[in-house]
Amino acid sequence: MHNRTFWRAVSCPAGPYGWLPLILVAILFFIIGFVTWLNGPLISFVKIAFSLDDISAFLVPVVFYISYFLFAIPAGKIVTKQGLRQSLIYALSIMTAGMIVTGQFMKAASYPGTLCGFLILGSGLALLQVAVNPYISFLGPSDRAAQRIAIMGICNKVGGILAPVALATFAMPHIENLQFSYRNPALQQQFISTLYWSYIGMAALLALTTLYIKFSSLPDIKTPLSNDKECNTPTKFNPNLWLGVIAMFLYVGVEVLAGDAIGTYASGFHIPLNISSLFTSATLFCMLCGYLAGLICVPRFLSQERALLLSCFAGSTLSVLAYMAHGYVSVACITFLGFSNAMIFPSLFPTVLNSTQNKTSFVSALLVMAYCGGGIVPQCFVWLKSIIGFQAAFSVLSCICYFVISLFILFFSKKSHTTTL
């Protein structure tokens, strides 16, 4: 009996804790994907609900992703002091509060207040990201960690695919009426009320998830604590590290650009909102396909570095084709960026860690802080499109991002080769 139990623990990705903890964490990854990729269609919706211009509407991802920059290091300290399991509960509680605040300010037709709600929501999500990634790594045997991460990645992308569809299903009937009755106060309030109840409903689900995890048998996994020296910044300048952080900043920026700004991009071709609101889901579906392709090909057929370079080349090519094409063909090229982007993060993150001798919590915190590129790069797109046009702005920004990411991997490969010699 003891041998059978040991064999199950070793052969099962869930490890000795069984499948229930793995399923609970999978739900958390689904929530991360759902909440994160809700921003794409929400940009178009708040633009109409609050009568905003593009620059003001794109403050949604700016505020959401800037929370990673503001709260990554505090989140790391919370995880160190409170442990992984308790940090998950804190994160979900903060996210619940963020959902409620967002919904209440939407109901009050206060856009600044709504943005404050997004900041709270993003801070909870930052803590959840910092806590849940190591948790899933230590949840079972180390040789099965890749399988667990793959399962979590799929759940994350499925959540991201369903989020725009769910929001469009609830809000689209009201927004179509609002578009035909320009600035009708009654219809505008009705639409805002729909968004309000959507966020209150998500807050209720998050609250139930928090309570379930609090009273569940989810194991409180202990991890080695970093010493004080590791929590400090590196004492000498490391170009690999900082170029890697810049590459991560630009990667998250171009990923969000393809996922969240695609609705605004499609509106430049006068594609109806009831169609363009689903393009974020299409981009994420392509990303899911790319993620699965990466699991098959890396490292069996391609090294992490070659996969990253190939992805950047494919992304640049698709960006140029999007500029040359028109209408749905151009939007399709942007959608396929999801496929090329999927293979960058799994290669970039470990490459940055391997390129520096400072393998500490500080490096991880820097990489999480770099996620704020998801708010800055799309905002640059909105500013630039008024000058050179939406197609040129998108292509120029994305090509610059892919070029710098490629420079990092080429620089790292050259340094590695020199070190080997």
Tens-digit pLDDT profile for residues 250-291: 999 999 999 888 988 998 998 887 788 788 888 989 988 887
pLDDT at 166: 79
Has residue 249 got a pLDDT over 90? yes
pLDDT band of residue 10 (cuts 50, 70, 90) is very low
Has residue 126 got a pLDDT over 50? yes
Beta strands per DSSP E along 30-104: none
Token representation of residue 103 = 């919904």
pLDDT at 180: 46
Of residues 202 and 399, which shows the higher confidence score?
399
Q: For the segment 161-174, what is each residue's pLDDT rounded down to a tens digit?
A: 888 777 767 665 55
Separation of first and last alpha carbons in the chain? 52
Beta strands per DSSP E along 45-121: none
Q: In whole angstroms, how far apart are CA 109 and each of 49, 102, 183?
A: 8, 10, 14
Per-position b or e across 26-36, b if 16+ CB within 10 A of its CB? bebbbbbbbbb
pLDDT at 164: 77
Q: In whole angstroms, how far apart are CA 176 and each of 49, 161, 172, 191, 275?
A: 12, 22, 6, 10, 12
- Residue 63 near residue 122, CB atoms below 8 Å: yes
Report, as an integer, the average pLDDT of 360-384.
83
Q: What is the mean pLDDT of the chain?
A: 79
Segments making up each domain of the chain, as ranges: 1-222, 234-421
pLDDT at 219: 75
Most confident of 26-30, 106-110, 332-336, 408-412: 332-336
Q: What gap in Å lies between CA 68 and CA 66, rounded to an integer?
A: 5
Q: For the segment 171-214, what is each residue's pLDDT rounded down to a tens digit?
A: 655 555 555 444 566 666 777 777 788 888 888 988 998 898 88
Has residue 149 got a pLDDT over 70? no
Of residues 137 and 36, which shows the higher confidence score?
36
Report, as an integer, the average pLDDT of 35-56.
80
pLDDT at 188: 67
pLDDT band of residue 351 (cuts 50, 70, 90) is confident
Of residues 248 and 165, which shows the higher confidence score?
248
pLDDT at 161: 83
pLDDT at 257: 92
Q: In whole angstroms, how far apart are CA 235 and each of 44, 228, 232, 349, 367?
A: 45, 14, 8, 22, 18
Has residue 55 got a pLDDT over 70? yes
Determine the residue type at 235: T
pLDDT band of residue 17 (cuts 50, 70, 90) is low
Has residue 243 got a pLDDT over 60? yes
The model carries a pTM of 0.77
pLDDT band of residue 88 (cuts 50, 70, 90) is confident
Q: What gap in Å lies between CA 28 and CA 128, rounded to an integer?
A: 8
Fold topology of 1-222: Growth Hormone; Chain: A; (1.20.1250)
pLDDT at 79: 81
Q: To which CATH superfamily is domain 234-421 assigned? A: MFS general substrate transporter like domains (1.20.1250.20)
Same topology, domains 1-222 and 234-421? Answer is: yes
Most confident of 67-71, 216-220, 232-236: 67-71
pLDDT at 235: 45
